[in-house]
Amino acid sequence: MVYILLIIFWASISSSSGQQYYDYSDCSLDPDSYPGSRYTCNSSQKSCLTFLVYRANQQFQTLSNVTDLFQVNPDESNEVLRLNNLTSPSKMLPPGREVLIPINCSCSGQFFQANFSYVVPGSTTYSDIACSVFESLLKSRTLGEENQLQENDLKAGSKLHVPLKCACPDDFSSSKGVKYLVTYPFVEGDTLDLLRMKFGISLEDLCAANLLAPNPTVYPNTTFLIPLKKYPIMNLQITDSQPPSPGFLPTIDIETTGQSKLRTLYVVGSAVGFCLVLVALLVCGLYVKALRKWKVERLLSFNARSSCSIASPRSAQTARSSTNSCLSPDLLVGVTYSLCNYSIDELKRATKGFSEDARTGDQAYKGMIDNVQVMIKQMRFEDTRQVVDVHSKINHINIVSLHGFCYGENVTPWPYIVLELPSNGCLRDCLFNQSNYLRWHKRTQIAFDVATGLHYLHHCIFPTYAHLSVNSRNIFLTTSWRAKLGNVRPLKRNSSISSSVKGWVAPEYLLHGSVSEKVDIFAFGVVLLELLSAREDMDGRLFKDSTGFLGGASEGGCFERLRSFMDPALKQDYPLAEALCLAVLAKACVEDDPLHRPSMDDIMKVLARMV
C-alpha cells in the first residue's frame, strides 16, 4: 500500500515537472515506442549554450581532433582547453578520456538538437556513424531520418547533417537553479554512482532530470542528461578509480492511470476485500481446528525460504565458459546476481541443434543442460535486457528463475535466454491429464504456492510488480508438485493489450487496459476455479453459471451444486468444506468490480490455514 502510494506520488511529481525521458534502448535499435530517443522541446527557453561529453578514442585521439569533429569555433579553443584542464590541443589523450565540448542547442520543431555536419570518410553505415563516431550522441534512426541518402549510397565525401541530442532546462528545472543539461553518453562500466561523483551532484537530481525512479538500471550506448547548476567541472580523478559495484533496484513500476482515482480504488478495494475475506475466514475457521499439526510445521519449513526478507541478490557474476563465451557484456551491465554465460554450442547440444522435437513454441525450445531441464527462448536484444532486468529484482522459490543467456551467433543476432523448466510441465496439462490426476492436497498446495509468488511480486519488491498473465499455462509444477509462476516479463508501456490477452481476464484490463495488482487477483480466481473443476473456460460464462449458487440467493442444494462443479477425477475424495472455502474465495477474486476483490494479503491468510 505504502509502495503504491509512493509510486503514485513519484509519478505525480515527475509528470508535473516535464523533464526528459531516458531511452533505455541501444543507439542502433529503434523500438519506435520509446520516448526519449530525442529530447522534446517543451519549455519557454528555445535555445541555450550547453555541453556534451565525448571520449577520446583510436580515431579521435587529441583535443583538436575532437574539436574538429564538433566544429568548435577556433576562437573558443582556449576556453575548451581550460574547460578540460588541458594545456595543449595536440596532446595525445588516453583512450576513454572524457572531454567536455560546448554546443549550441536549439529547438527545431518538436525536438532539441545541436546541428553538426559530418563528411563520410569511406563506406560506412548510419549505425556506425551514430553509435561509434558520435558515441551514441544520437540514434542511428534519427541520423537516417534526417538525411535523405539511402544507407547503401553512403560513400566517401557524402556530407551528412548530424542532429545531436541535447536539451535546455525547462521552466521547472530553471526555477530550481539548473543552468545546463549536459548530454552524457553511457559506455560499458558506467554507473550512476560514478556519474554522480564525476559531476558532484546527487543521485536524486540525476534520476529526476531523466524521469527515472531512484536507483534505475542504465545501459551502455544510451545518453543521460546531467543537470548542472553551475559551469561544469569534471572530476577526472574518479574516472581512473575502480568503479564501485553497481546497486540494483527496480526500474519497472506499475502503470498508474488516473492516479487519484486509483488511490481511492485501492483504499476502498482493500476495505471491501477485507470484509469479504472475513466472511471467507469464518467459513474456513470451522476447518482450521481439524488441521493436523504436522501440516503447519511443513508449511513453516517451506516458507522460511520464501519470506520477504530474503530477496537478496545472489553472489557475484559467474562466468561459465570463459573461452568460447557468446555472452555480450552489454547485457550484463549493472547485473549483480549470478547468471550463466552459455555458449551457442551448449545450447545446440541441449536442443539437438534446435530441432523440431525440442521446440515447444514460437522461438522456444526445451532441453537439458547439466542434467537440469531448461527452457531456451530467443528474443530481441532489447527484450532480453528487460527480462534480465526484471529477473535481477526477483528471486523467489515460487517464481521460475532465469539461469542465464547466450548472445547468439552472427547469423542469428538475437540472444537466447535460458530459464528453469520445472519437470512436471504446466498446470493446465496436469489438470487435463485425467489418468494421473492431481489429488486435493496437491491442488491446495499449488494454490498456496501461486499465491505466495504473487504476494511476493505485489508486496515484497519495490516498486511493486503486477504479473498480468497469470493463468494455468504460465504456472509450472516441479517434481514434488510445487508450483512456480512463469513468464514474468517486463511490462510493456502502452502496448496494445487486447491482442495478447487470451482467456477470461479482468474486465477493466480488457476494456480500458487498466493495469494493477487487481488484474492478477482476478486471474488467480480463475486459476482457483480451474483447480477445483479442472475445466478451462475461455470467456468465463461457464464459471459464472456454475458458481452463481455461491451468491447466497439460491436456497439449499449448495453442496450438491458444488459437487457437480468439482473435477470428477477427484471422485469426492476431498473435504467439501475446504472446496467450498476455495470456491467462495475464487468467486470474490473474479468480481467484475476490482474494488470488491480481496488483496493477495487477504488471500494468503485464507490459504495458509488450509495447506
Ligand X SMILES: *[C@@H]1O[C@H](CO)[C@@H](O)[C@H](O)[C@H]1NC(C)=O
Q: Contact residues for ligand X (CB under 6 A)?
A: 18, 26-28, 42, 59-60, 62, 64-65, 68, 73, 85, 90, 102-104, 106, 108, 115, 131-132, 146, 161, 163, 187-188, 220-221, 233, 236
Spatial contact of 472 and 432, defined as CB atoms under 8 Å apart: no
CA neighbours within 13 Å on the CB side: how many for 390? 25
Smallest gap, in angstroms, from Cβ of residue 110 to ligand X?
A: 8
Query: Is residue 170 classed as helix, strand or coil in its secondary structure?
Result: coil
Identify which of residues 62 and 317 has a Cβ nearer to ligand X in the complex.
Answer: 62
Q: At CB < 8 A and 24+ separation, what contacts does 142-151 make?
A: 142/37, 142/38, 151/125, 151/126
Alpha helices in 335-376 (DSSP H): 344-350
Alpha helices in 329-439 (DSSP H): 344-350, 381-392, 427-432
Spatial contact of 422 and 484, defined as CB atoms under 8 Å apart: yes
Q: Which cell numbers hold the place of 199? A: 559531476
Smallest gap, in angstroms, from Cβ of residue 526 to ligand X?
A: 38
Identify which of residues 60 and 354 has a Cβ nearer to ligand X in the complex.
Answer: 60
CA distance 368 to 138: 42
Smallest gap, in angstroms, from Cβ of residue 494 to ligand X?
A: 16
Smallest gap, in angstroms, from Cβ of residue 576 to ligand X?
A: 58
Smallest gap, in angstroms, from Cβ of residue 132 to ligand X?
A: 5
CA neighbours within 13 Å on the CB side: how many for 443? 26
Identify which of residues 90 and 323 has a Cβ nearer to ligand X in the complex.
Answer: 90
Smallest gap, in angstroms, from Cβ of residue 222 to ligand X?
A: 9
Identify which of residues 106 and 259 has a Cβ nearer to ligand X in the complex.
Answer: 106
Smallest gap, in angstroms, from Cβ of residue 165 to ligand X?
A: 13
Residue nearest to ligand X (CB): 131
Smallest gap, in angstroms, from Cβ of residue 6 to ligand X?
A: 22
Identify which of residues 111 and 481 has a Cβ nearer to ligand X in the complex.
Answer: 111
CA distance 68 to 73: 9
Residues 281-308: b if buried by 16+ CB within 10 A, e if exposed: bebbeeeeeeeeeeeeeebeebeeebee
Identify which of residues 259 and 303 has a Cβ nearer to ligand X in the complex.
Answer: 259
Spatial contact of 531 and 446, defined as CB atoms under 8 Å apart: yes
Identify which of residues 132 and 270 has a Cβ nearer to ligand X in the complex.
Answer: 132
Q: Which cell numbers hold the place of 454? A: 504473487
Identify which of residues 53 and 299 has a Cβ nearer to ligand X in the complex.
Answer: 53
**Bridge partners (DSSP) listed for residue 295:** none
